[in-house]
Structure 1
Amino acid sequence: MPASNLQQVWPEMNPEDMSPEQMALAALRHEIDLVDDEILALFQRRLAIAAKVGQAKDAPHGPHTKLRPDREQTVLSRVMAKADPENAVAVEGLWREIVGWGLARQGQLQVQVWAPVDPTRAFDGARHRFGTAAAIRMVRDPQAALAFAAEGKGVAVLAVNTEDPWWVGLRRDWSSLSVFDGFGAAGGQPTSLAVGKIDPAALPKGRRVVVSAGGDAGDGGGARRWGLNTHHGWTLALTDADLTPGDAEGCVGAIG
């Protein structure tokens, strides 16, 4: 390894005074520096492309947020399929940050979180999903958060493990909004839902979210339902039925 490279990674040492162990460590550090340079160049290139993508996006059915959950799902699934299993958690976290910063080049995402029960879990779920590039803040009024999302200013993350049935309004009052993600305990049912003015064609592939009258036992056609909450005869549930948002069966979105 050239002496100049040794001094770059270990400037306080004289190469002639280095032990074999220090020489080996310096070589590894130099290798990391080279990889960091490659990562930086590629990341900045990706950000530049993401900015162009933002300019090219065109929602076909009126104004929607620039979020494309289906595209994010595809990108993450492709990357995770290539990742070594022992690196899966690290890769997912890194890629969500990369996607979040790319989205920020199209305009910083504003996220309002309402969760009177276990607010830390809801906030952490939002931070993990949207990354540190997003502006996330806690709010006290779920209806105000829904209005914020309906205006296209950003998205709302709202708890469903509460006595406030804000989700009934997704059928009655907030038809322009769609559920596009859910957060909760690992491997469990979601305790909060992400809601936004999402192009229905851009919803992720996964379980549908339904708000309907009656219970959560399913429709008798073989499609299971998992109840999340109930209120005065209304039920919020997940289903594996392939439903279209806004249809008569009460589909209000999807969770990937």
Structure 2
Amino acid sequence: MPKSSLQQVWPEISPDQMALAALRHEIDELDDQLLSLLERRLAIAARVGRAKDAPAGPHTKLRPDREQAVLGRMLSRCRPENAEAVEHLWREVVGWGLARQGRLLVQVWSPVEPARAFDGARLRFGAAADIRMVRDPQAALAHAAEGQGIAVMAINTDDAWWIDLRRAWSSLSVFDGYGGETPTSLAVGLIDPPALPKGRRVVVTAGGDAGDGSGARRWGLNTHHGWTLALTDAPLSPGEAEGCVGAIG
């Protein structure tokens, strides 16, 4: 707003107040532009959802590879000091766009450090997701296997549910992890294997953590009666003999 206009509205306004009012007016104009762009993006996200319905299949509509690419592109373009804000904002934008394709139901099972697992799920899927704590790990996995929701499962427990990713729940894939460089919980869903993110592969193997002889780095996450849950740098594909059950970006 020009200074002359401000002076007509507030004839006694000081120079500092005039500068502040001008900045607030600029923010209001930017907010209007952001709102318009956000609503356009949400409308397009709904159209994307309908396009996904065309080749109907059993997999959830989540595309972790696409989300990883979108977020990586934004982080590469933003100023370093804004990276955290940009990540949080884009997680929310993507989450609300996904909600236009159907509200995402996330069940979190974490008897140890439940708040940490819940917060990781909330950051990943945003406020648009319906996130609930549950007490039964097998029920959470069954929920994910229906293809309409996600299970976030703790791995820092005595319940070795992850072994069943090789057996009863082989249709499910790990696609994210929470709790730091060495995750303490994993996100599991009915993800189309080509849609898994680029990054460390998640493996469930029998016979300890001796490695596969490839020299690829490995991170052990848990063990149970000769079975091992680990991350590896090896470029494995889900369902291979090496026991790959997913990936973490």
- Is this contact kept in 2: 1:217–1:225, CA < 8 A? no
- Is this contact kept in 1: 2:172–2:189, CA < 8 A? yes
Go from structure 1 to structure 2 and tell me whether the alpha carbon gap of 1:80 and 1:25 turns closer, same or farther (over 3 Å shift). same
* 1:149 alignment counterpart: 144
Go from structure 1 to structure 2 and tell me whether the alpha carbon gap of 1:141 and 1:220 turns closer, same or farther (over 3 Å shift). same
CA distance in 2 between counterparts of 1:114 and 1:35 reads 41
- Is this contact kept in 2: 1:213–1:235, CA < 8 A? yes
* 1:233 alignment counterpart: 226
Paired residues, number? 249
- Is this contact kept in 1: 2:3–2:18, CA < 8 A? no
Match among 103, 109, 112 for residue 108 of structure 1? 103
SS at match of 2:157: coil
- Is this contact kept in 1: 2:108–2:131, CA < 8 A? yes
* 1:214 alignment counterpart: 207
CA distance in 1 between counterparts of 2:5 and 2:136 reads 57
* 2:51 alignment counterpart: 56
Alignment of 1:79 with 2:44, yes or no, is no
* 2:192 alignment counterpart: 199
* 1:10 alignment counterpart: none
Structure 1 residues 26-41: aligned runs within 5 Å? 26-41=21-36
Go from structure 1 to structure 2 and tell me whether the alpha carbon gap of 1:6 and 1:118 turns closer, same or farther (over 3 Å shift). farther
- Ranges in structure 1 where 5+ consecutive residues have no aligned partner: 8-12
CA distance in 2 between counterparts of 1:61 and 1:239 reads 32
TM-score (norm 2): 0.96
String of CA shifts for 1:61-119, please: whole Å, max 9, x gaps.
Answer: 83110000000000000000001000000000000000000000000000000000000
Alignment of 1:119 with 2:105, yes or no, is no
TM-score (norm 1): 0.93
Q: How much does 1:5 deviate?
A: 6.8
Go from structure 1 to structure 2 and tell me whether the alpha carbon gap of 1:138 and 1:247 turns closer, same or farther (over 3 Å shift). same
SS at match of 2:11: helix
SS at match of 1:57: helix
- Is this contact kept in 2: 1:216–1:226, CA < 8 A? no
Q: How much does 1:133 deviate?
A: 0.3
Structure 1 residues 171-210: aligned runs within 5 Å? 171-185=166-180, 188-210=181-203
- Is this contact kept in 2: 1:3–1:15, CA < 8 A? no
The root-mean-square deviation of aligned C-alpha atoms, in Å, is 1.7
Go from structure 1 to structure 2 and tell me whether the alpha carbon gap of 1:89 and 1:5 turns closer, same or farther (over 3 Å shift). farther
SS at match of 1:193: strand
Counting aligned pairs with the same residue, the percent is 76
CA distance in 1 between counterparts of 2:114 and 2:168 reads 25
* 1:164 alignment counterpart: 159
CA distance in 1 between counterparts of 2:152 and 2:4 reads 52
Q: How much does 1:215 deviate?
A: 2.2
String of CA shifts for 1:12-47, please: whole Å, max 9, x gaps.
Answer: x95101111100000000000011011000000000
- Is this contact kept in 2: 1:159–1:191, CA < 8 A? yes
Alignment of 1:68 with 2:63, yes or no, is yes
CA distance in 2 between counterparts of 1:22 and 1:87 reads 28
